[in-house]
Amino acid sequence: MPEKQEQAKQSVLQSAKKWGENPVPPALLATFVFAQHARPFQPLPMIFPPLLLFSTYLNLQGFKIDSAGTTAAISGTYLVLAGRRRVGFMNKFGARGIIRGATMGLCLANLIGGGLAYAFGRRSKEDDERGL
């Protein structure tokens, strides 16, 4: 029985690590952040989409570990800033509230997945894949 629990725990960690190495989550998060803060334009939160798209670019160029760390840091920062905003109870269930909840959930997933990918990534393996 403990073998199956360890196997399940390992697969959850592996899934989270693969999530952190994927280039799609930072691009999706950039889309959500832009959708929330473009209208009316809010300058401080609009710093995050270009940084997240740069993280996606890093990932596509083969720097998966660095991209995961960048994504985790940016997602964590946005999660802290978004968590400080107060939203009324009835506003949580509108279109903006649903997008805000999805954005914060994706931030948390990126924080965990990117942090695991950055912490447990092997640069020697990444360099071999890039041919260095």
Write out pLDDT tens, residues 13-25: 888 889 999 999 9
Q: Which residue has the tokens 């965990």?
A: 112
Residue 111 clears pLDDT 80, i.e. is over it: yes
Do 48 and 76 touch, CB atoms closer than 8 A?
no
**Are 111 and 76 contacting, i.e. CB atoms less than 8 angstroms apart?**
yes
CA distances from 75 to 32, 55, 123 (A): 12, 11, 22
Would the pLDDT of 72 be above 90?
A: yes
Q: Which residue did the predictor score with more confidence, 92 or 16?
A: 16
CA atoms lying within 13 Å on the CB side of residue 99? 13
The pLDDT confidence band at residue 89, using thresholds 50, 70 and 90, is: low
Q: Domain locations in the chain?
A: 2-130
